[in-house]
Amino acid sequence: MPVPLEAALTTLPTVPAASRPRRLPRPTLLIGLLLLAALILAALIPERLAPYSPTDFNYEAILSPPSAAHPFGTDNFGRDVLSRVIHGTRVDMQIAVLTTLFPFVFGTLLGALTGYRGRWADALVGRIADLVVVFPFLVLVIAIVAVLGPGLNNMYVAVSAVGWVSYWRLTRGEVMAQKKAEYAQAGRVLGYSPARILLRHILPNAVTPAIVYLMTDMSLGILLGASLGYLGLGAQPPTPEWGVMVADGKNSMATAWWISTFPGLALTLAGVTFSLIGDGLADALRPRS
């Protein structure tokens, strides 16, 4: 028989606040947040940080190696690579957010509804998800972008049409487990509406895996945007996007290695940043006895 919420709460032992162990944030989370703050700063005010315009040509400094005037060198149009890398932070951070925001919101809410209600809605969404995952993720995204046309907006549409499945699966499984917990049963005994039980009690406890995956997915979103930019299906020149910059220097690696190397290092840094945050959040949000 379900235990009423008030009765369950009165039987829980209390621990004095002074004796409760404090959970210190993990160094990985702190380092990841510091790196993220630096990336956000570069994305917000690239004009103040970059020494040159990212699109101005300088034919007197074509393919100049790294120097005091151009710390990251220049490309085959004389554009300062450092300035383009800094300005590219805004584009790639935008890609990280917009390729994950809609899949996270849509997939989480849909997973909560189907996991709580089940039955025909769960079966229908499950068959749609199975149809999506039959095809490799990158191949399906490239196919959708090829049909819609190259560009960032079409890339966001393509990723959103495919990327919600992982969030749906994570949230659905957690909600199906949480709805059998005693606190959810107590809410039903107290006469709470299904919407209140789901949104105010079950979903906050079930969304943790999706939040942790979101950080990893942002890293994958940046890599996906760079990959599509490299293939000419994402950001289009002269947009200073890291994948486009790597593609610009692919034919000059033997003579002008800096054109592709520094944007590639920026991609690596962004990926490591979100991976550190995801690892730190996984530990911080993990329940402790």
Rounded to the nearest integer, the mean pLDDT of the chain is 86
Residue 119: pLDDT band (50, 70, 90) is confident
* pLDDT > 50? residue 199: yes
Fold of 27-56+69-284: MetI-like fold (1.10.3720)
Residue 181 scores a pLDDT above 50: yes
**pTM, full prediction:** 0.82
pLDDT in tens, 136-150: 888 889 999 989 999
CB 190 within 8 Å of CB 201: no
Higher-confidence position of 258 and 8: 258
Amino acid found at 156: Y
Largest CA-CA distance found in the chain, in angstroms, rounded: 82
Q: For 255-267, what is the mean pLDDT?
A: 94
- CA-to-CA dists, residue 275 to 4, 210, 218, 219, angstroms: 41, 14, 9, 7
Q: What distances in angstroms separate CA 202 from CA 8, 89, 284, one per listed residue?
A: 17, 37, 19
Has residue 16 got a pLDDT over 50? no
Every domain of the chain and the residues it spans: 27-56+69-284
Confidence of residue 31 (pLDDT cuts 50, 70, 90): very high
| Joined tokens for residue 156 | 């966001």
**Rounded-to-integer distance, Cα 234 and Cα 221, Å:** 12
